[in-house]
């Protein structure tokens, strides 16, 4: 592949076009950089899993622009999801909800759930809005390596292997999102991240 392009804000239309054609680009979020493709595109998902050297049986969360987009991809959405989105989105919170079957099965690893998150970064949110689809965007690093927090760190990993990286500056938080599973009888924290898990549980109980 040719040299990886370092994109800026002015290149957003080109990035959206590339994603619509099945390309892959690293994008900034407030947590870490993500390696993004169209979550509905099977071929793009195969490429993503290959370049990240990621196990195929490991599900990937998607980035969305808000709950309206979540409704396109998830079903039987509990009221707690809307409450959490209103309080914490855009932000470092991933919610596990019931999958509707719209995204590639490579995103969900053929499970019946889907992780969704609205990132707190204006560039990446604008890409999602313009594209009109969710981005499958695991952290932009080879499996087992530290997450990339700058565009340069992404290039150090993937120069010549991905089409481009959108340089949105250093990630403000530098830690992954907190994951809460809302598909069971009780909300369950699956990963501690940018928001303390107990804070989320307390909020849902009306104590936050």
Percent of the chain at pLDDT above 90?
A: 92
What mean pLDDT comes out for the span 35-62? 95
Q: Residue 132 CB: number of other CB atoms within 10 A?
A: 12
Is the CA virtual torsion 128, 129, 131, 132 positive or negative? positive
* Tokens 């530290």 -> residue: 146
- State how far the Cα of 155 lies from the Cα of 150, in Å rounded to an integer: 9
pLDDT band at 59 (very low <50, low <70, confident <90, very high): very high
Q: Write down the mean pLDDT value for the chain.
A: 95
- CA nearest neighbour of 133 among 44, 19, 50, 48: 19
Residues 6+ apart with CB under 8 A from 98: 74, 75, 76, 77, 112, 113, 114, 183
Segment 111-129 mean pLDDT: 97
Q: Does position 156 have pLDDT exceeding 90, yes or no?
A: yes
Answer whether residue 1 shows pLDDT above 80.
no
pLDDT tier for residue 207 given thresholds of 50, 70 and 90? low
The pTM assigned to this predicted structure is 0.95
Instruction: Please give the DSSP secondary-structure letter assigned to residue 23.
Output: -
Q: What is the pLDDT of residue 13?
A: 96
Question: Stretch 97-101: mean pLDDT, rounded?
Answer: 98
* Stretch among 62-71, 87-96, 140-149 having the lowest mean pLDDT: 140-149
When pLDDT is averaged across residues 29-44 and rounded to a whole number, the result is: 96
């Amino acid at each position: 592949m040719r040299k990886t392009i370092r994109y800026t804000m002015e290149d957003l239309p080109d990035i959206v076009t590339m994603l619509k054609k099945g390309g892959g680009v690293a994008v900034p979020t407030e947590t870490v950089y993500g390696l993004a493709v169209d979550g509905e595109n099977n071929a793009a998902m195969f490429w993503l899993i290959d370049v990240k050297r990621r196990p195929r049986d490991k599900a990937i969360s998607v980035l969305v622009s808000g709950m309206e987009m979540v409704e396109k991809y998830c079903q039987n959405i509990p009221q707690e999801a809307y409450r959490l989105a209103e309080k914490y989105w855009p932000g470092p919170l991933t919610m596990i909800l019931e999958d509707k079957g719209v995204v590639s099965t490579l995103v969900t690893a053929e499970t019946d759930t889907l992780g969704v998150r609205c990132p707190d970064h204006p560039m990446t949110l604008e890409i999602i809005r313009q594209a009109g689809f969710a981005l499958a965007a695991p952290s932009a690093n080879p499996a087992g390596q530290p997450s990339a927090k700058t565009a340069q760190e992404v290039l150090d990993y993937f120069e010549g292997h991905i089409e481009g990286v959108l340089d949105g500056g250093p990630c403000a938080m530098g830690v992954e999102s907190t994951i809460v599973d809302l598909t069971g009888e009780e909300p369950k924290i699956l990963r501690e991240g940018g928001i303390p898990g107990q804070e989320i549980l307390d909020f849902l109980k009306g104590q936050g």
